Structure 1
Amino acid sequence: MASQDQGFRAGEAKGRTEEKTNQTMDSMREKAEAAKNKTYESAEAAKNKTTETVEAAKDKSYETAEAAKEKAHEGKEKTGGVLQKTGEQMRNMAHGAADAVKHTFGMANEDKDKHNTTSCRRDSN
């Protein structure tokens, strides 16, 4: 009977060991599954954050490029106006210089001479 009792106890110990092993394995599977899910969620969050950051950078680059384009256009218009005004001033100065040279050499139109003489007479009186 003692050997039956020992066999029974050995069987009980073996059963408890198997049960404990199964519980430990189940617990490890659950923890591994939880870690896997957490890793997947972290990877998805990182991917989403990266996508958002890339989109924000694209938007900012586009806005910056548009602002630069507008500034360049404004500068071009402003420069064009200045150059046009300068050109007109140079043309007027050249025309005035040509008239002065013509007047000096007596080549000016008579109408202009009469007008200039008249205005000179008015200034003298």
Structure 2
Amino acid sequence: MNNTESASYKAGEAKGQAQEKGNQLLEKAGNAAQSAKESLQEAGNQAQAKAQGAVDAVRDAVNKN
């Protein structure tokens, strides 16, 4: 393998490694986004349940009087 072929091979290898690293970073970002989405959904569900509990408590208090 001459110098030109060697340099071309190394450039191709570096490009492949950079692409793989980019793919790994995109996968991590996607996983983080999915985790954040799930956390926000859970927080929303909890807030909704608390609000419903408050509504029920007020309704019960009003109906007792």
TM-score by length of 2: 0.85
Q: How far apart are 1:95 and its partner, in Å?
A: 0.3
SS at match of 2:63: coil
Question: What are the residue-to-residue correspondences of 1:33-112 with 2, within 5 Å?
Answer: 45-106=2-63
CA offset digits 1:43-94 (Å, max 9, x no partner): x722112101110111011101110111111111111111111110000000
Cα RMSD of the aligned pairs, angstroms, is 1.6
Equivalent AA in structure 1 for residue 23 of structure 2: E
- How many residue pairs get matched? 64
Equivalent AA in structure 2 for residue 100 of structure 1: A
Query: Highest Rg: 1 or 2?
Result: 1
- Which fold has the larger relative contact order, with Cα–Cα distance below 8 Å and residues 6 or more apart in sequence? 1
Equivalent AA in structure 1 for residue 28 of structure 2: K
Equivalent AA in structure 1 for residue 31 of structure 2: E
Q: Which runs of 5+ in 1 are unaligned?
A: 1-43, 108-125
Q: Which runs of 5+ in 2 are unaligned?
A: none
Q: How many angstroms apart in 2 are the aligned matches of 1:57 and 1:100?
A: 64
Equivalent AA in structure 2 for residue 84 of structure 1: Q
The ranges of structure 1 where at least 4 consecutive aligned residues each deviate by more than 4 angstroms after the TM superposition are none
